[in-house]
């Protein structure tokens, strides 16, 4: 089987490439000429993946890549993925995420109409959630609170519409927060882990900068999430949407406490106003019943293991 992973240089893309390679897939990936290749260096060096220069915002570029690799499956991960950037660059976020996906769907429709296409949504689509609505199923109303959330609603519904209108084999997922080694340093788990690793090594003063510690998020390990993506694409129902989550809503404060325990550090905690959002999603706690029931996925890595691995990852790098 041949799989094309857009955004293979990113956090999830690199883990998904490893998982598909372990299942004997031929793996192709999209890269931009300026893309950092750190996450996939090891795969590039041993020749196990093939890369195509592609900007998803350019329909010509996307069509050429799809034509060159003729994939059986497309995992469309490439996106502007950082929620705060969606306030400073909303037009860019909507353009990359919605127009970019339109280019993927159009290229698939013309070149590989039988391919299975994974549309990557997000729990940010749910946005404003009331505590009595938790755990949220896929039927939860979509009330996005950021331009990023709106862009993911756009991707999600565009995928649904292409299934309805053209019969494309689209499978949609809404992953809740996921983390683990290689997590980008701006996201909360890596931001805290990296700061603590720098303090541990004496590079920084014992002060950690934080944003909103009251929000609750539902975390899974990225290595479990990529297995869910593979299973959803291969065993999921065409046109359907699946939540991917642990079912546990954790206050961000509790993940900070866990990292402090893992690192054994005593540090001063400083609120950084620049880390606060115009409207943060306050609670995300999902139900993974549908994906468990229909494709047999369940998470296997504990949050404690994930956070230890992430902290170790940063200790080796700072
Ligand atoms: O920044 P780059 O050149 O390394 O590529 C990033 C890619 N990307 C693009 N690729 C082609 N054309 C574009 N215009 C374009 N813009 C961004 O998307 C990188 O390979 C990937 C994003 O990686 P991360 O920021 O690490 O995101 P992560 O956590 O892997 O998220 C994967 C998916 C996204 O759709 C998120 O919205 C969703 O999971 O949560
Ligand atoms: N980034 C960051 N940095 N977030 C902080 C910080 C900090 O210093 N302090 C507290 N937070 C809070 C944020 O306000 C938010 O409530 C929570 O930690 C998680 O923030 P992020 O790690 O930036 O992730 P996210 O939830 O906004 O988005 C991630 O998960 C989505 C799935 O729900 C991204 O990976 C998205 O691409 C993904 O779709």
**What is the residue with the minimal CA distance to atom 29 of ligand 1?**
11
For the whole prediction, is pTM greater than 0.75? yes
Q: How many H-runs (helices) and E-runs (strands) does the chain carry?
A: 12, 13
pLDDT, residue 173, reads 98
Mean pLDDT of 241-245: 98
Domain ranges of the chain: 2-178+221-244, 182-217+248-283+301-317
Q: What percent of the chain has pLDDT over 70?
A: 100
For the stretch 13-72, pLDDT in tens is 999 999 999 999 999 999 999 999 999 999 999 999 999 999 999 999 999 999 999 999
Q: Which CATH architecture has domain 182-217+248-283+301-317?
A: Alpha-Beta Complex (3.90)
**Cα separations in angstroms, 220 against 18, 36, 268, 281, 307:** 18, 25, 28, 18, 10
Helix ranges (H only) for the chain are 11-22, 41-45, 59-69, 85-88, 90-94, 100-111, 147-166, 188-200, 222-235, 252-263, 289-295, 303-317
CA dihedral 288, 292, 293, 295 (to 10 degrees): 120
Across the chain, mean pLDDT equals: 98
CB 306 within 8 A of CB 179: yes
pLDDT, residue 136, reads 98
Cα of 212 to ligand 1 centre, how many Å? 24
User: Ligand 1 pocket test: which of 53, 77, 125 has the largest number of ligand atoms within 8 Å of its C-beta?
Assistant: 77
> Is residue 245 very low, low, confident or very high in pLDDT (cuts 50, 70, 90)?
very high
pLDDT, residue 141, reads 98
Cα of 187 to ligand 2 centre, how many Å? 5
Tokens of 273: 């106003």
Between CA 163 and CA 103 the distance in angstroms is 15
Between CA 9 and CA 1 the distance in angstroms is 21
> Is residue 131 very low, low, confident or very high in pLDDT (cuts 50, 70, 90)?
confident
Between CA 21 and CA 124 the distance in angstroms is 29
Between CA 1 and CA 233 the distance in angstroms is 13
2-178+221-244 has which fold?
Rossmann fold (3.40.50)
pLDDT, residue 100, reads 98
Between CA 94 and CA 32 the distance in angstroms is 19
- Identify the residues whose C-beta falls under 6 Å from ligand 1: 7, 9-13, 30, 32, 35-36, 54-57, 77-81, 96, 100, 120, 122, 175, 184
pLDDT, residue 291, reads 98
Cα of 179 to ligand 2 centre, how many Å? 11
CB 37 within 8 A of CB 9: yes
> Is residue 195 very low, low, confident or very high in pLDDT (cuts 50, 70, 90)?
very high
pLDDT, residue 264, reads 98
Mean pLDDT of 202-220: 98
Between CA 192 and CA 185 the distance in angstroms is 9
Q: Inter-axis angle of helices 252-263 and 188-200, to 10 degrees?
A: 30
Between CA 103 and CA 80 the distance in angstroms is 15
């Amino acid at each position: 089987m041949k799989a094309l992973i857009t955004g293979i240089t990113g956090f999830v893309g690199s883990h998904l490439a490893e998982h598909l390679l372990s299942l004997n897939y031929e793996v192709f990936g999209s890269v931009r000429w300026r893309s950092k290749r750190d996450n996939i260096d090891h795969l590039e060096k041993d020749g196990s993946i093939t890369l195509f220069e592609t900007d998803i915002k350019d329909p010509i570029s996307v069509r050429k890549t799809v034509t060159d690799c003729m994939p059986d499956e497309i995992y469309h991960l490439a996106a502007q993925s950082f929620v705060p950037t969606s306030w400073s660059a909303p037009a860019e976020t909507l353009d990359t995420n919605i127009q970019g996906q339109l280019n993927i769907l159009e290229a698939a429709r013309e070149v590989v109409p039988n391919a299975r296409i994974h549309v990557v949504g997000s729990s940010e689509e749910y946005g404003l959630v009331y505590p009595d609505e938790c755990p949220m199923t896929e039927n939860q109303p979509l009330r996005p609170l950021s331009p990023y959330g709106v862009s993911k609603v756009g991707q999600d519904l565009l995928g649904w519409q292409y299934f309805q209108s053209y019969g494309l084999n689209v499978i949609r997922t809404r992953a809740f927060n996921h983390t683990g080694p290689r997590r980008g340093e701006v996201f909360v788990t890596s931001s805290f882990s990296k700061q603590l690793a720098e303090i541990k090594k004496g590079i920084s003063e014992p002060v950690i900068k934080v944003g909103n510690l009251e929000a609750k998020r539902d975390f899974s390990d990225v290595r479990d999430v990529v297995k869910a993506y593979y299973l959803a694409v291969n065993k999921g129902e065409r046109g359907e949407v699946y939540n991917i989550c642990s079912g546990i809503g954790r206050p961000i404060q509790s993940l900070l406490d866990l990292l402090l325990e893992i690192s054994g550090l005593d540090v001063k905690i400083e609120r950084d106003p620049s880390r606060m959002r115009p409207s943060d999603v306050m609670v995300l706690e999902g139900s993974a019943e549908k994906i468990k029931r229909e494709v047999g996925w369940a998470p296997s890595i504990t949050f404690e293991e994930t956070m230890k691995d992430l902290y170790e990852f940063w200790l080796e790098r700072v």
